[in-house]
Chains A and B, each alone.
Chain A
Amino acid sequence: MNPAEVAAQIVALIKQHAPGAEGRATVTFGRNNETRFAANEITTAGDVEMTRIAVTVARGKRHATASHTRVETAALSDLVKRAATMASLAPEDPEWMGVLGPQVLRTPAGTFDAATFALSSDVRAEAAKKVIAAAEGKGVVAAGFYTAGGATSALATTAGLVASHPSSEASLTVTARSPEGNGSGWAGAERVAASDLDAAALATVAVDKAVRSRKPAAAEPKPWKVVLDPACVAEMMAFFLEALDARRADEGRSFFSKKGGGTRLGEKMFASGMTLKGDPFDPATPASPYDGEGLAIEPTTFVENGTLRSLVTSRFWAQKTGTQPRPRPSALHLLGGEAKSVDQLIAMVDRGLYVTRFWYTRWLDPQTMTITGLTRDGVFLIEKGVIKGPVNNFRFNESPAAVLAKAKAWTQETSRLPARGPVMRVPAILTEDFHMASVSAAV
């Protein structure tokens, strides 16, 4: 049986075992094939077959969700009964909105590649060997991770909603370090099709950064003009997305709360030209056309030419505030700007830093959207428009919102990076007053 058939079977089981209740089934069958390498050798690898079966049952406003990994009919019955029992025990949830009925769902093109789903261990091992050879050729040490796989997910409800979405993903990340531990570089990419991953090119970028970042000079912690590589921007945008929530804004808990109540929708908050979209049908960011409840994800402009236009709004919050529900995006695209390349951004800087990667980012203060984190895998001093050489790493305390507000220029090209959460494409950004708080001795 395929996931859609299993989901339909579960809906029938809900009707059988919990007559009168409403329910939702989410069924995912997939594969994850992975190869890890480090110290210039392949270390661990795996061929993992996955299933996830989740059942939500609701009686009135009492609801509960149970999930497991077993597809046999008896196990599906058990799961439905468990969810039904849990729901009857659960106290009422005044915010429960019921399961969704049929949705008008369009199908995004290009979300699944069969060859990537079935990619063999040999292909991954060959890519890893290629990266290792490139690293050894330059006398550095490579570590990395190649993962390829995919899944078909299906969703069905007792109210007649049926949805299904196939996806595949291949990603390769490479960290290269000098044997002395005084230089480090990183490169990574994520694609729908493994054939679009260029292991040699990624190896070249990471190895080159490792070689060029050796023996960093001292640079002081202070507000700097910085060129942020897409890897840094993608990491920050995950926090930005978390803050883009209507309820938190209305409740006064977020950066998008207006002083005295309400939200900052319609306010020009970011640099002119800055536009953030969430569009699963954009060929640049193919992604799921519905969210976890089965709600259709329509193309959304969150920030338009610097102005805040939309906030993520749950069904409950939309009903309470008399607005339209707006699901969390499955794809985010911070649109490209005018600069032809990262080098052109660097050429615009009289004195500043080129920062290639962030690490261990964490919230500090949601009301100012301030996060903390560290730089990693290569920071370079820029003087009079050219890179002078590597400098030390920093801890930073900074707001992604401030970065977008103070952005001076960004690249035309946007990159898709391995990211948790939505598919994400972002440009490199030149921004000002980026607050480096202290020096980090780590390389």
Chain B
Amino acid sequence: MLSRRAFVIQSSLAALGAGCGAAVAPPSVPPLSPGVPPRPPETTRPAPEPTIAAILGRALDEAKRAGATYADARMHQRRHENIRVREDHVTDVSSIETYGLALRVLAFGAWGFASSPRVTEADAADVAKRAIAVARANSGAQKRKIELAPTAVVTENWHTSMSVDPFAVPLADRAALLLALWPEAKKVKGLAFLDASTQASDEWKLLATSEGSLIEQRIVRVGADYTATAKNDKGEFVTRAHELPPMQAGWEYITGASLLADVRKIAEDAVEKLAAPSVTPGKKDLILAPSNLWLTIHESVGHPTELDRALGYEAGYAGTSFATVDKLGKLKYASDLVTIVADKTTPGGLATCAYDDEGVRTQEWPLVQKGLLVGYQTTREQAGWIGEKESRGTAYAQDHEAFPFQRMPNVSLRPGEKPLQLGDLIAATDDGILISGNGSWSIDQQRYNFQFGGQMFYEVKKGKVTRALKDVAYQANSLEFWKSCDMVGGKESWQLHGSLSDGKGEPPQSNAVSHGCPPARFRAVNIINTGRRGAA
């Protein structure tokens, strides 16, 4: 256990907060998850506790001595263990770990950042020197004064609630779970291939700010997926992927899922899809299962409401946003049925944690309230840009080599008030298409025009699913699409899906994020056929 007292005594942290807004008193925070304190695994624990404290303190002290008005130092360890199998054999077993020291400074009115893979006091001093040099070089090229919204000073630890640490499960057991799939899948005639994988990631970080906060967190995420490929004698093939969402959880989530129970059905789906007729393009009513809709929420609501993006700070890469700040509180984004909230607190959510990477307590807040644009995702630097007093707590850095910046929290569609299920949406639809799972997706850099595929597509006629279809994608304008939403499933039909990797920034950083939603219906959406182009 890290000795926090030793740490705070060793470093003159608290005096360093000048110029970035006075620290406010800590609010009464809800109890954190009970259990043992988070720790990096024994075998990889980098240094004894007093050393860790001395290193972070040294980085902050050196930064302050060299002129920093604010600094945060982060020890950050990431571990990933992935297993891939193909049919009856393992193709890849990998363990990837990164560990190092990151220091961000605000000095001479500019940001500076440096990192090192070596975590010693000497390196801490060197990192401080380099981060200050970066800030000095950038000084004077800022248009607006960098001011950080105040946040509470806390000493806290937090970790993922789980019963089985995935890293403690033998690799052979994890592989066996995947290898059990093929004997079942191959019973389905027409099935050619089965690719499967599991992922486990462990993110441990210790953040110390010049204002005096010290926060240790451990976040564990797991996933498992497989893709069945069916092939016919004409050489045509289609794939069908399983839709188990990745989750912030222990291995019990994977063993408790119905991977094996579902594999015959997934294989049969692939064969059925291959033989299915190609879709006739045109406007149709669209019923989206949660396994498809989550990604549409991510792309058409999650990204447009990133404040840096809306203000042009991501113009060089990811792009800008149609949801510009002059539209806050005015833009009719969706039908009245639609309320979309951001949070980093949903249990199991991939972006869920207690504090963000600038030490701000996480929270939940609305982005779209009954169809109206009402909120943005912010950091301490950004809160003031839209006149807010405090950060929403969305700063994130993927590893010790990365600068923390605004990253998407979990963004979820609230269930409707009526207790509707997917079957009710189908029963109410005269001529439509039902889509589940994620296929190809693409959206423009201002998030106006998108095109999404799926895994399975079914024709819906007169309230009934009639047959499978293939080559389906839906193409729409984000606002027209959300305004056409006329049915939203109830609480019982709400599911949490998500992605372990969402890219943003330069150099690109990966962020894990969840999106919860019920099934929903959208009227008269443009359906295209994706199978008719490209023959050379």
Contacts and interface: CB of A to CB of B under 8 A. Distances in A.
Instruction: Answer yes or no: are A and B bound together in one complex.
Output: yes
Interface of A: 32, 34-51, 63-71, 78, 82-83, 86-87, 89-95, 120-122, 124-125, 128-129, 132, 141, 143-145, 147, 173-175, 177, 181, 251-253, 255, 257, 259-261, 269-270, 359-365, 367-370, 372-374, 376, 393, 395, 397-399, 401-402, 404-406, 435, 437-443
Contact of B170 (A41, A89, A124, A145): A89
B51 interface: no
B444 A374 contact: yes
Contacts, number: 282
B477 interface: yes
Given A66-B94, A441-B446, A369 B117 contact: no
B442 A45 contact: no
Secondary structure call for the B interface = mixed
Interface residues of B, number: 88
B442 A374 contact: yes
A252 B237 contact: yes
A261 B535 CA distance: 18
A253 B445 contact: no
Contact of A442 (B99, B236, B449, B506): B449
B137 A122 contact: yes
Contacts of B442: 360-362, 372-374, 395
B138 A42 contact: yes
8 contacts: A38-B314, A43-B313, A47-B130, A68-B97, A82-B95, A125-B137, A173-B317, A257-B235
Contacts of B153: none
B236 A367 contact: yes
Interface stretch (B52-60, B346-354, B362-370, B525-533): B525-533
B113 A45 contact: yes
Contacts of B130: 47
A359 B453 CA distance: 18
Contacts of A87: 93
A40 B315 CA distance: 11
Contacts of B313: 38-39, 43, 143
B494 to A, nearest CB: 28
B536 A39 contact: no
A90 B96 CA distance: 16
B237 A253 contact: yes
Contacts of A397: 528, 530, 533-534
B110 interface: yes
Given A32-B401, A36-B316, A437-B475, 6 more contacts: A38-B316, A44-B111, A49-B116, A66-B96, A83-B95, A362-B442
A292 B433 CA distance: 45
Interface in B441-457: 441-449, 451, 453
A188 B528 CA distance: 34
A113 to B, nearest CB: 20
B510 to A, nearest CB: 13
A40 B94 contact: no
Q: Which of B93, B97, B175, B312: most chain A CB closer than 10 A?
A: B93
